[in-house]
Structure 1
Amino acid sequence: MSADTYNLERRQFLRLLGVGAGAATLAGFLPSALADEVAGQASGQAIVKGGTLFANVTPEPAGLVAGINISSPAVVISSSIFDGLVTYDAQFRPQPQLAESWEEAADGKRITFHLRKGVKWHDGTPFTSADVQYSILNVVKKTHPRGASNLAKVTDVQIPDEHTVVFILSGPAPVLWATLFGTETQIVPKHLYEGTNPLTNPWNSKPVGTGAFKFKEWVRGSHVTLERNPDYWDAGKPYLDRIIFKMIPDAGARAVALESGEIQFAANNPVPESEVARLQQNPALQLDTTGWQVPAPMFFFDFNLRRKTFQDLRVRKAFAHAIDRQGLADIVWYGLADVAQSCVPSFQQQFFKPGLPQYDFDPKKAEQLLDEAGYPRGADGVRLRINHVTEVSYGQVYLRAAEYMRQQLKNIGVEMELINLELAAMIRRLFTDYDFDTVSQWYSAYPDPQIGVTRRFWSKNIKPGTPSSNNSGYSNPEMDRIIEGIQEEGDVAKRKLLIDQMQELVQTDVPSVNLLELKFFGFYSSKLQGLRKGPLLFYSSLADAWLEP
């Protein structure tokens, strides 16, 4: 491929992704209201330094290094502890962070990053290119549930000196530019991780990063405290003295804490969906529903395909017909969700394929399919008895969703026992022991299907012990061919056809029932200024945040 052809195709891809010159952006589908990058700065207010921000995450994470113990609450905390090679502005364009600058070869096969000098890990050890090399090759590519796909074309990482990193790629990989932020392609200290299993390294619960805040303590069941990093490379920041992430398990109590000012920043749908409209009228609080546009959460119903019952396509289709997805959106989520038509969210217009096969709510069709599959009703009216793991630790809405689906499945003769576990136990059961029949859960789709969607269906992403990977055990050579084509194809139009094929196969083979596109939300105090407003607000560092008196 000539340099001119490559650059033309890359521009076409970036335009589809919504990208500006040389970098990725989501401007193509994000609201124009996201133009302000940092709340409060445009108004010219005088920044107030010092103070403690009381925040909340739900549920309590299993670990605090988000690139290893991956979960939404871990990301919210970890983003202030770890910096990435780049950060992003409100249009999702890469901006310098640990990398001051970079150059990309015309053929797309080399990206050279020039690292910021004088950066230290929180334990005082200098940050160098060796940390980046180790993290990319030994942590991200091997243990991250999206890493093998995100970095599929990264064949090597060279470090000619302590402050230069060269990614060697097998071919152009524009998707890489949407994955280099600190909690996705996470850089960890080599001196604390080398020679260990990153998934079980004790530093995952007492992290040492390069970010604006240093880990102070984690009192299980109570709080995580971060303190200002006095040696932060961005002189003068952070403005806050500390952040205390309080664990408040009860959603009603979290609503009260927000109204009273006990907590001033709360991500992950902190209050019951039924309370959002009321709290939105409180002038002391700000509601944000756009800080999740990049993660793009998708809610789905998975089968453990290691179970013989679910290896029958008719059974999987029966479950799809038995679940009223519109009812889930309207009744359970109070309208804070849309029915999913694909594994790719519809607002990713550059990738979403309309007109896919759908499974409308049709209990009679579901019963017919179960009869054909050899599961007639018994004398007690029951066809199947199964268990179902819920994500109740993320909020009662997930339990209500499971109960809603349990009743609908009961109507077609399926008895479903609900298993409600705290987050760490749920992760172990789903992603290590594979001890479940069915599960309803959400994954982040992210701005490109290669980042957050393909991991659900790629057989090479069956990674025991890795959260948010392919826990259903779905393995289909045709799907693998398509996904690996998505990873390798440099032609934008041909790659789009492969993404279409993936969506078609998911909807016809039904390895998973795509239920909802979730509209996540968060609340924060009207006195909290300096938030990095945009599509990654709740996954961004709080380095710029400050509190009005």
Structure 2
Amino acid sequence: MICKRRYLATGIATAAALLLSSCGGGGGTDTTASKGASGKPVVGGAATVLTPSDSQTLDPARMGNNFASGGIVGNALYGTLLVDAPSSGKIRPSMAESFDTKDGGKTFELKLRDGLKFTDGNPLDAAAVKYNWDRMRKPATASPYLSDASMVASTKALDDTTLLVTMAQPVAQFAQSVVTSSLNWIASPAALKKGAKSFDSKPVGAGPYTLKEWRRQSSMQLTKNPKYWDSPKPYLDSLTLRVSLDSAQRINTMTSGGADLAIETNMQNLQKAKEAGLPTNALPLSGGTYLALNTRKAPFNDVRARAAVAAAIDMNSLNDSVFEGDASPVTTLFDKSSPLYADIPASSPDKTEAQRLFDELAKDGKRVSFTFTTTSATENRALGEAFQAQLSKFDNVSVKIKVVDFSEFLTLQTTHHFDAAVTSAAFRDPEPRLWTAFHSDEPTNMSGVADKKLDAALLTGRTATSVEDRKAAYEQVQKRLTALHPMLWIIRTGGGAIAKKNVGGMTQYGFSSLLPEELWVKK
């Protein structure tokens, strides 16, 4: 089957930084890695990589650090301060030697490697990191990671390689925000100060590659940075990133040998690749896409209306009707691979209870009528129609579908002019995604849920330092979300990569962001 649902929505919950795949987690599909080329990495050669989106800017503060929108570009041009281990999620140093807290997350000390330099010859020092991080905290910069950057109250360069970071409130897991955002990418302050047009034509970082040519909406040519700090990486002499928006086209190109590697948003494509004998890689994610119910106004300012819709929708049936059974409905908030996993059901369909609540609301003069707002993409409208079809089987509830263009859809986060809309909170570690999605003070809280117990549990999860305490806190988060019904979890999302058999070094970190310096081709 060709995946017809190319992209379900943008991740408004992460300020549009994340482009989501509606094809999700592949149902029962096995997406574990299958190995490519083995042995000692080969230095030299070139590779072509298919990407599922085109970069709109090369300003690292405004790029998305994830598998679907900008991850490989940012990693190539700017390198990484930190990465995490694919299996455990444990933070590991890269251009930073360490990023430690000794006071439970009140302050952090970032220690850089000696001798780091941008390609313009300027030092990548503590002052450069300070400039980039302080710039991200300014709303005028328009960073999609403003919420992440705003967790920092102040920064101070103690010496050339040491940055003191003082947090607005203790966040013991702040390193997770670094590896899953563009805080991980540092550009030359001198180049940034020349303005956006100049920087996009000649971005300056300290990453494994430099920009040779950028043809917007088509391709990007990258060449090896001979002064990259981690020699002999990058192994390849050059890298071509080619935009390939269509999932069917990507898998066809890979199986016919038309590219060396593809960044993949479609889990079914990963399965097809494995069946064709091609190496694959994917990282499991928790959370996923969800339908935000706007609690700020009727009908969803009444918890009974939210509970009724939650009880009426059968996600397995929705999976069959919209995704042909190929997606993975979110059954629990955390994936089983997470140390924070708890067997707390994300939804419990109950048609009898749903009808009882719809009838009760109608009797009280609050008949449930709402609009499902979506974009003009066929696949997005199909999801709205599936919700509409399921709810049409009940009395005293009606659903309309409103189709808006993409730019208007993105404004919903600030205008709140919607009743129900699909967004995302997908993550490896819940910090900071659950906070930004559901804390009452966050502008990215699409549903508008405001609950003291939920806020308290999120705060405990954010500030706790042990796995046990964090797990207990997030169990409370799950219970409050279940009780309040501000949203309905839909499907898992995931990101992976497909390669030719002679390609080695497929390595992802954070939000499935691919590390280009690790790639090599066996001759």
Compared CA separation, residues 489 and 246, structure 1 to 2 (3 A): same
Answer yes or no: is the 8 Å Cα contact 1:264–1:525 preserved in 2.
yes
Answer yes or no: is the 8 Å Cα contact 1:410–1:416 preserved in 2.
no
- RMSD of aligned alpha carbons: 4.0
| More divergent stretch after superposition (127-136 vs 383-392) | 383-392
Local SS of the residue matching 2:158: strand
Q: Which residue of structure 1 lines up, in the alignment, with residue 12 of structure 2?
A: none
Q: Kindly state the Cα deviation for residue 453 of structure 1 after the two structures are TM-superposed.
A: 1.8
Answer yes or no: is the 8 Å Cα contact 1:337–1:519 preserved in 2.
no
The one-letter code matched in structure 1 to 2:514 is S
Report the Cα distance in structure 2 between the residues aligned to 1:304 and 1:453, rounded to whole angstroms.
17
Query: Which residue of 20, 39, 47 corresponds with 1:44?
Result: 39
Compared CA separation, residues 239 and 542, structure 1 to 2 (3 A): same
In the alignment, does 2:401 pair up with 1:446?
no
The one-letter code matched in structure 2 to 1:121 is F
Report the Cα distance in structure 2 between the residues aligned to 1:427 and 1:389, rounded to whole angstroms.
7
In the alignment, does 2:283 pair up with 1:292?
yes
Deviations 1:351-392 (A, max 9, x none): 233345743152x543442333339999xxx96351322595
Answer yes or no: is the 8 Å Cα contact 2:385–2:401 preserved in 1.
no
In the alignment, does 2:370 pair up with 1:373?
no
Answer yes or no: is the 8 Å Cα contact 2:339–2:467 preserved in 1.
no
Local SS of the residue matching 1:455: helix
Report the Cα distance in structure 2 between the residues aligned to 1:367 and 1:206, rounded to whole angstroms.
60
Q: Which residue of structure 2 lines up, in the alignment, with residue 389 of structure 1?
A: 374
- Work out the percentage of aligned pairs sharing the same amino acid: 20
Answer yes or no: is the 8 Å Cα contact 1:391–1:441 preserved in 2.
no
1:79-90 superposed matches below 5 A: 79-90=75-86
Q: Kindly state the Cα deviation for residue 325 of structure 1 after the two structures are TM-superposed.
A: 0.9
1:149-548 superposed matches below 5 A: 152=151, 155-168=153-166, 173-181=171-179, 183-189=181-187, 190-191=189-190, 203=199, 207-270=203-266, 273=268, 277-283=271-277, 285-288=278-281, 291-293=282-284, 295-296=285-286, 298-329=288-319, 332-333=322-323, 336-342=326-332, 344-347=333-336, 349-355=338-344, 358-360=347-349, 362=351, 364-374=352-362, 384=369, 386-389=371-374, 400-412=382-394, 413-417=397-401, 419=403, 421-422=405-406, 425=407, 428-447=410-429, 449-462=430-443, 469-490=444-465, 493-532=468-507, 538-548=512-522
The one-letter code matched in structure 1 to 2:434 is V
Gaps of 5+ in 1: 1-30, 463-468
Answer yes or no: is the 8 Å Cα contact 1:56–1:263 preserved in 2.
yes
Report the Cα distance in structure 2 between the residues aligned to 1:426 and 1:203, rounded to whole angstroms.
28
Answer yes or no: is the 8 Å Cα contact 2:346–2:489 preserved in 1.
no
Compared CA separation, residues 144 and 444, structure 1 to 2 (3 A): farther
Answer yes or no: is the 8 Å Cα contact 1:81–1:210 preserved in 2.
yes
Deviations 1:405-441 (A, max 9, x none): 332234345333253755xx26633335444332223
TM-score, normalised relative to structure 2 = 0.78
Answer yes or no: is the 8 Å Cα contact 2:374–2:381 preserved in 1.
no
Query: Which residue of 117, 120, 144 corresponds with 1:120?
Result: 117
TM-score, normalised relative to structure 1 = 0.75
1:126-141 superposed matches below 5 A: 126-139=123-136
> Which structure would you say has the larger RCO, counting Cα contacts within 8 Å and 6 or more residues apart?
2
Compared CA separation, residues 352 and 276, structure 1 to 2 (3 A): closer
Report the Cα distance in structure 2 between the residues aligned to 1:391 and 1:309, rounded to whole angstroms.
24
Local SS of the residue matching 1:73: coil
The one-letter code matched in structure 1 to 2:519 is A
Q: Kindly state the Cα deviation for residue 455 of structure 1 after the two structures are TM-superposed.
A: 1.4
Answer yes or no: is the 8 Å Cα contact 2:104–2:463 preserved in 1.
no
Local SS of the residue matching 2:431: helix
Gaps of 5+ in 2: 1-29
